[in-house]
Structure 1
Amino acid sequence: MTPSKARLASASLALTIGAAGLSLAVAAPSSAADQVHPAGASDSGAYLAPFYTEGDLTGDHQITAADLDIARAALGTSSTGAGWSKVAAADLDGDGTITIADLARLAQKVIYDDGSFDLIEASALDMQKAMNAGVITSVQLTQDYLDRITAYNSTTVDPATSGRPLNAVITADAKDALAAAAASDAARKKNGHGSGMLDGIPILLKDNYDTKDMPTSAGCSCWEDNQTSTDATMVAGLRDAGAIILGKASMDEFAYGFVSQYSAGSPVGSSKYVASPYNTAQSAGGSSGGTGASISANLGAIGFGTDTGGSIRVPSSYNQLVGLRPTVGLTSRDGIVPLALTQDTGGPIARSVSDVAVALDAVVGSDPADAATSEADTHLPTSYTSYLKAGSLAGKHFAYFTSMVPPSSATSASQIAARRIFLDAVQKLQDAGATVDAIDPSTLAADPANGVTVSKILNEGSGSTNEFKANIAAYVANHLDPTVADRTLAEIVSSGQYTPQYGSVYTQRDAVTTDTYNAWMASHGSLIKNGSAYLTNLMDTDDIDAVIYPTTTTYGTYSTNLRLSPNTGMPAITVPAGQDNAGEVTAGAPANANVNLEFLGRDYDEGDLISYGYSFEQATKARTTPALYPALAGETYAGPGVDEDAPGTGAVTLGASARTVKPGQTFSVTVDESAKDLYAYDLSLGFDPKAAALVSTSTTGGTTGSDVITAGSGTVHVVHTKLGSSPAAEGDTKLVTLTFKALAVGATAHVSVTKLVTVDADGDATAVVEPGGASVGITAYSTTTSASLAKHAVTSGKKVRLNVAVSAAPGVVPTGSVKVTVAGKSHLATLNGGRAVLTFKAPKLARKVKKAKTKKISVVYAPTADFTGSATTLTLKVKPKH
């Protein structure tokens, strides 16, 4: 188990520092008591992806048991019938009637999966489905990720001679994370569901996000003990949404760079690098490289980084992840160690676009502590997940600037690979119905008011040079733990507790004067404002939905591509597009290298960007899993819905527990299917209520899911469906077992299927023709009659006492009467409890008879309808009177 709040150490390796990176900052102080969480309208509790909301009948924008109950009750309702308007949304096949196929398709939209769960590559949606089905708990998820951090973070697993540790996580907080996970599990159990899509989901944060339960080092050993009293506003939003803060990810020290070199956890004068999980000789990128490497290697569910000049997008491209750089001002920077507040923005890094949308919902909104977010609330959708619709590329118009794509004349293998992957992506966009145009930016006129051009936007430098000193001073004043000694850049340099290569950088930044800072803020602020207006006007004029370009080359940056978003403040999403091929690697490109496609949109267009990214992701499935970091033992959970049977033939049989039964006895009839791919079924049966009475029904032991069984006079109706993406049933599958009580002797209890419609996992329905029936004969109980005399010899004319017992099967008591005949005289008695006692006078003997005589006694049982008759005889010795 990972120790609580453990600092994770690993070997260091010297590499060359990359270009300037990113980070964020704070504008106003906040305390634990008055901390403001995001106040935006995005609903982090909802999952509004269109697939999961279509068919909603209750108006809550989700499919739950309540919707299934309404649809189930409406089976058979047609568009011409009463009440159609209330259930029409559930007619998912559009045939004008609510059928079992509609119910099955509706059930597939429930967030639930009782099949097996694999931790590797699992999305937040996968986790919620498994937790809702009881297959896994948040505690198990959290512990599994902690175990992976322990196993992989500081261990060299790459067999190559240049292999090195991942070094992706600085701090893991096992104690608090597991406690939060246990609380999440308890609440889910109590409420029957989670509180939202992030409830119980383990999150890793770049180590420049303040956390009240873990130090925030910003990657620098000088701040290893910076334990803030409050969470960053974005972190508070994540906790409010139920997320589990698992730990803090490594980063370029103070977000300076693209290689994730940091000194936190290292001896004075030394540092470490974060490695790519695909090729550990390569960098994971930066400055959010620890987030990128850890999420790609499945050390956490979702990560968060910051982006000043590419620090979300570079690690995303290097590590085959989706990264979103939000509009500056959509997410609060309060409580995040800053680099350049004119460009800083925090956002999610994840293995899928859907996870990015889920995570973004929890962290957006206006925050009084960050003036840049003042307009955020007015730009929020109900949920960014509502944009997760495949097919969103059709009819869209994209464009790219030719200067942002490696030319056909490129000789670098990495640039050649990036060009091919980008042009392949362009083709895939076109295949999906989009129009893509190439624009030579040199042909575009400058803005006559200010001279802004695309080239000027791309060539503007990073704010980290002139803003860092002032921004970090504000963070120190408002957030830094008072016990931390090194509070200025000069003090940090004097301490020696930093990455050695950054000493000159810090000294240069510390030399920036107030006049230089103010002049920069005026000019750079104008460039960002004018650049945004220029690019937005170009997009509006040419009806361009998004500008596209390759985020990086293979493990490298290209030109100034990364600056288009930060130097306009406009949002961008980056999505895996493909990897280099063997020929490109032979020519010199690094092995196992990826290039992402980036979409840039208008301010606050994150929803549309998510829709484009999602559609592209679904069309390409370009991400691969790092082979160096496979599943550990125990990371696969077999759910109750797992069916290991081989697919059957689809044949349906009825079987009875007995061929014949006695009245009052119970028997069962089971309907079985040799299932091929069974997700749902609508089954009706009939029987003669005069021959048998229905005692109970059961589908237990058949297939998991939801069923409703209704019974009438001589009828049984079973409607069953699996839930969510639970696996369909295969092989021998019990559809229902009916238990009856036999009623009428001589009758035949015949149970027949009057209707059976099955639905497969694709939603296709099949009517089963003539599935047949099962018959059970009802026969009378055989009986045995016995009798005994109180005295075997009596005097003529004296009383005789006769005990009669009629028996049947164990536990069954015969009813009816017995007739006793002796010497031509008959005597009758009604059975009571299967017994009767008769008294009568012994036959009289003639006076001349001097010797005893033997008389035959005949005992005959006269049964009621449920029993057969039986008889016995015995003898009585009659003595003459003397």
Structure 2
Amino acid sequence: MRRAAMLGMLMLSLLVFGGWGNATAATPFDTAKERGWLTDNVAPGDEATVELFSELLSGAEGEARGRSVQLDTTYSGSLEREDAAYLLQQFAGWEDVFAPYIDVPAEAQEAGAIGALTQRGILQGLPNGTFGYGKTLTASQAATLVTRYYETIKPVKLQEATIQELQNMLENGQLTSVELVDFYLDRIQRYDQKGPALNSIITINEEARGIAAQLDKERAMRGVRGPLHGIPILAKDNFDTAGMPTTAGCICLAESIPPNDAHQIKLLKEAGAIILGKTNLHEFAVGYTTSGSMLGQTLNPYDLQRYPGGSSGGTGAAVAANFAVAGLGSDTGGSIRVPSSMNSLVGIRPTVGLSSRDGIIPLALTQDVGGPMARTVTDAAILLEATVGYDANDPVTAWSDDQIPSSYLESLQADGLIGKRIGLLTQLMGDNTSVAVKQVMNQAIVDMEALGAEVVPITLSDFDDIMSYSSLSGWEFKFQLNDYLESLGEEAPYSSLTEIIEADAYDPAIEGLLKARDSRKSLNEEEYKDVVLFRTKLTQEALLTAMAKQSLDAFVYPTSSHPAALIGEEQLVGTNVLLSSFSGFPAITVPAGFTAKGLPVGIEFMARKFEEPVLLNVAYSYEQGTLHRRSPVLLP
């Protein structure tokens, strides 16, 4: 079938088309098989193959794009591999790509089409590395080809869409970043500001649509910077954002616009991400319920009568509610992991020193980290990869030298739990853990073993001594907040925590906590130095000793000892999250299911310093083997 004849047989009309009549959206291959088209009676070169290709392509376009496509099936030629490639490229509108096959003539009109389809995994070469230029398609090959094409162009529901699914749509012209921003802004307007009024977003970036438009132009002219190009991301409102207020959830900083972006925000922008807005947090990140003087109480999208966890509860609720594809949180004593657990999300607390804390309003720099919160392990890994690395403004990031893999995505293997020894920390499954969480955890153990892991009960030495230590936020907050305020320069609204307290510019609920921290005189006291030195040493030695003795790859335990509490009641989370915070070791929480009341529960994996690849490996395997994540039914 030569070019002129083939172009003559292509007709396109923008009409609503019913596809191949299968309401369950079977693949073209399934449809062809059902109708008995894939038989030995349809030989290579038979006109019936052209008819089959035409009907399946028309169905694929109808299902995916609502338009009717017809080929002139009265043409008596054969359907060759390069012909099919050229036709599909014309329908999709993809740009030419260099064809990587030695048997494809460089001057051939179909060469760019072959390369475009190969790049997207629709066409594959022959085992000897050639394309098979000039060879005719069989009926089954035609059905397979259209099936792969359909999987590439089929619409993805934007709600719950992953970063890669969104990138596919952006690349294929099914979506623009401006349209994606509008989709999320519409959901925020309908569900955060009105309707159930989750109250999770403090500030919307007024420049978001303009930035999206520029990134759409850049995509068309120069291609993409990477997987985050044109993807909207939310940031907890203790990450500095130049040109936007950074409030820490406190009215005392309502008009505070920092001069520079936090390092992680800067990296995200360089990767092409769009900072869509800033999320609510427990004021100054000091609690687990996510309320404060700036915005009030954020609600849990799975139960509007309950807390979303904290302190990154605004990011947790917003990402769970599909106000963006992913977001950033900060974690001093569980503030990424607790709200991730309570909103059926994946949350990563990186190793201290892997990602910069520069530009994150501090709570206790000895324990502080910033990290991803997302709906899938893959999306969290993409966000992690974009935000790690050395920063001269945060000297501890020098520890990450030679510790960052070429790609964290290479760790994502569905069979990652096979052969792994996972230590179950039994002391975090005691009487202080709710029955509902224990039930989910027990099933998670069964699931991990079914996925190939050996789960080993572990009793950690010196556990009570470790847990007798306090969080360092009680010591460090005053001094490090004062340093942060000084970094804002002359535009800083206050110069110290003392001034904020004197101005009564904060939530009265945290008055006692702020005054207690403000009473600290110095970080030179022996008690503080003992905590810094001995707590870290004791925790790390206990964990490493257990891992060595039992040949463990990672630990596992419930992320929080209790699910989300009713607003007005005490939110219990237990000491589970403290081992990672005290040791500086990385941890990841993954959705593990729901209680009988429909409340999300997460399990947490923890490994040695800079072993994020190990955590991603086991977390991805568990996620893919169980698929517990589901969106809130209250927000369709």
TM-score grouping bracket, smaller chain normalisation? 0.7 to 0.9
Q: Give the equivalent residue in structure 1 for 2:294.
A: 264
Aligned to 1:561: 576
Question: Counterparts of 2:248 and 2:151 in 1: how far apart (Å)?
Answer: 39
Name the counterpart of 1:132: 171
Q: C-alpha separation between the residues in 1 aligned to 2:395 and 2:349?
A: 19
Structure 1 residues 389 and 93: CA distance shift in structure 2, 3 A: farther
Counterpart pick for 1:421 among 440, 455, 478: 440
Q: Is the 8 A contact 2:485 2:492 kept in 1?
A: no
Q: Give 1:527 shift.
A: 1.9
Residues 1:173 and 2:205 are matched in the alignment: yes
Are 2:422 and 2:456, in contact at CA under 8 Å, matched by a contact in 1? Answer: yes
Q: 2:274 aligns with which of 220, 226, 244?
A: 244
SS in structure 2 at match of 1:229: coil
The 8 Å contact of residues 398 and 436 in structure 1, kept in 2 or not, is answered as yes
AA aligned to 1:604 is F
Offset of residue 521 of structure 1: 3.7
TM-aligned CA distance change 1:67 to 1:607, over 3 Å: farther
Q: Which residue number in structure 2 is paired with residue 218 of structure 1? A: 248
1:109/1:116 CA distance change after superposition, 3 Å: closer
- Summarize the alignment of residues 363-374 of structure 1 with structure 2, pairs less than 5 Å apart: 363-374=387-398
Whichever residue aligns with residue 282 of structure 1, its letter is R
Partner of 1:466: 475
Which structure is higher in strand share?
1
Q: 1:559 to 1:239 in 2, by over 3 A?
A: same
Structure 1 residue 129: Cα displacement: 0.4
SS of the counterpart of 2:301? coil
Q: How far has the Cα of 1:508 moved from its partner?
A: 0.6
1:349 aligned counterpart, secondary structure? strand
Instruction: Return the alpha-carbon distance in structure 2 between the equivalents of residues 91 and 135 of structure 1.
Output: 21
Alpha-carbon separation, structure 1, partners of 2:400 and 2:474: 27
Compared CA separation, residues 71 and 284, structure 1 to 2 (3 A):
farther
Q: Is the 8 A contact 1:575 1:617 kept in 2?
A: yes
Match for residue 151 of structure 1? 190
CA separation in 1, counterparts of 2:582 and 2:489? 32
Structure 2 residue identity aligned to 1:185 = D
Q: Using a 3 Å threshold, how does the CA distance of structure 1 residues 522 and 375 change in structure 2: closer, same or farther?
A: same
Return the match for 1:499 from 499, 507, 515. 507
SS at match of 1:539: helix
Matched residues in 2 for 1:548 and 1:102: separation?
46
TM superposition shift of 1:173: 1.1
Distance 1:619 1:73 in 2: 41
Cα distance change of structure 1 residues 231 and 517 upon mapping to structure 2, 3 Å threshold: farther
Any gaps of 5 or more consecutive residues in structure 1? 1-63, 75-88, 158-164, 266-271, 445-452, 582-590, 631-882
Q: How does 1:426-445 map to 2 (within 5 A)?
A: 426-441=445-460, 444=461
- Residues 181-196 of structure 1 correspond to what in structure 2 (within 5 A)? 181-191=212-222, 193-196=223-226
- Structure 2 distance, partners of 1:522, 1:94, is 66
The answer on 1:455 being equivalent to 2:464 is yes
Against the structure 1 CA distance between its residues 195 and 469, is the aligned structure 2 distance closer, same or farther, given a 3 Å change threshold?
Answer: same
Report what 1:577 is aligned to: 592
* Residues 404 and 93 of structure 1, relative CA distance in 2, 3 Å threshold: farther
Name the aligned partner's letter for residue 297 of structure 1.
A
Match for residue 372 of structure 2?
348
The answer to whether the 8 Å contact 2:412/2:617 transfers is yes
CA–CA distance in structure 2, aligned partners of residues 473 and 509 of structure 1: 12
Higher Cα Rg, which structure: 1
**289-298 or 602-611: which moved more?**
602-611
Superposed, 1:585-604 pairs within 5 Å as 591-604=597-610
Tell me, in whole angstroms, the C-alpha distance in 2 between the residues paired with 1:198 and 1:210.
Answer: 20
1:361 equivalenced with 2:385 (yes/no): yes
For structure 2, list consecutive stretches of 5 or more residues without a partner in the other structure: 1-94, 106-120, 565-570
Q: How does 1:507-526 map to 2 (within 5 A)?
A: 507-514=515-522, 519-526=527-534
Instruction: Mark the CA change 1:261 to 1:91 in structure 2 (over 3 Å): closer, same or farther.
Output: closer
2:483 partner amino acid: A
Task: Measure how far apart 1:198 and its partner are.
Answer: 0.4
Distance, in Å, in 2 between the alignment partners of 1:517 and 1:592 is 47
Q: Distance in 1 between matches of 2:220 and 2:406?
A: 27
Question: In structure 2, how many angstroms separate the alpha carbons of the residues matched to 1:110 and 1:344?
Answer: 46
Match of 1:117 in 2: 156
User: Could you tell me how far 1:542 is from its partner in structure 2?
Assistant: 1.8
The one-letter code sitting in structure 2 at the alignment partner of 1:514 is S
The match for 1:613 is 619
CA distance, structure 2, for counterparts of residue 526 and residue 548 of structure 1: 24
TM-score by length of 2: 0.76
Q: Which residue is equivalent to 2:429?
A: 405
Letter in 1 for 2:594: Q
1:205 partner SS:
strand
Aligned partner of 1:190: which letter?
A: M
RMSD over equivalenced CA pairs, Å: 2.8
Judging changes above 3 Å, is the alpha-carbon distance between structure 1 residues 119 and 524 closer, same or farther for their aligned structure 2 residues?
same
Q: Which secondary structure state, in structure 2, belongs to the residue aligned with residue 348 of structure 1?
A: strand
Percent identity over paired residues: 37
**2:314 matches 1:290:** yes
Tell me which amino acid in the other structure corresponds to 1:357.
Answer: A
- How far does the alpha carbon of each residue in 1:548-588 deviate from its partner, in whole angstroms, 9 at most, with x for none? 0010122154431110100100000000001012xxxxxxx
**Correspondence 1:141 to 2:173:** no
Contact 1:90–1:102 (CA under 8 A) maintained in structure 2? no
Which amino acid in the other structure matches residue 588 of structure 2?
I
Shift in Å at residue 127 of structure 1?
0.7
CA contact (8 A) 2:329 2:372 kept: yes
Structure 1 counterpart SS, 2:577? helix
Per the TM alignment, residue 454 of structure 1 is displaced from its structure 2 partner at its CA by 3.0
TM-fit CA distance, 1:70: 2.5
Q: Find the residue that maps to 1:527 and give its secondary structure.
A: helix
* Distance of aligned partners of 1:533 and 1:92 in 2 relative to their CA distance in 1, 3 Å threshold: farther
Partner of 1:627: 633
Alignment check: 8 A CA contact 1:577 1:597 kept: yes
Select 2:415's aligned residue among 381, 391, 394.
Answer: 391
TM-score of the superposition, structure 1-length normalised?
A: 0.55
Quote the residue 1:707 is aligned against: none
SS in 2 for 1:282: coil
**Displacement after TM superposition at 1:156 (Å):** 4.1
CA deviation profile, 1:586-641 (whole Å, cap 9, x unmatched): xxxxx3211101100110111111111111111111011111111xxxxxxxxxxx
Provide the secondary structure at the position in 2 that maps to 1:117: coil
Cα distance, 1:534 vs. partner? 3.2
Find the aligned partners of 1:155 and 1:258 in 2 and give their Cα distance: 24
More helix by share: 2
Conserved 8 A contact 1:548-1:597: yes
2:552 pairs with one of 538, 541, 544: 544
Distance (Å, rounded) in 1 between the aligned partners of 2:580 and 2:164: 29
- Describe the SS at the equivalent of 1:355: helix
| CA drift at 1:490 | 1.6
Partner of 1:261: helix, strand, or coil?
Answer: coil
Q: What amino acid sits opposite 2:622 in the alignment?
A: F
Deviations 1:461-491 (A, max 9, x none): 111101101111111122x253333221221
Q: Which residue of 1 aligns with 2:43?
A: none
Determine the C-alpha separation between the residues in 2 that align with 1:235 and 1:121.
23
Give the corresponding residue for 2:323: 299
Indicate if the aligned counterparts of 2:320 and 2:375 stay in contact, CA closer than 8 A. Answer: yes
C-alpha distance in structure 2 between counterparts of 1:573 and 1:65, whole Å: 41
Q: Which runs of 4+ in 1 moved over 6 A?
A: 89-112
Alignment of 1:653-664 (within 5 A): none
CA distance in 1, matches of 2:625, 2:99: 31
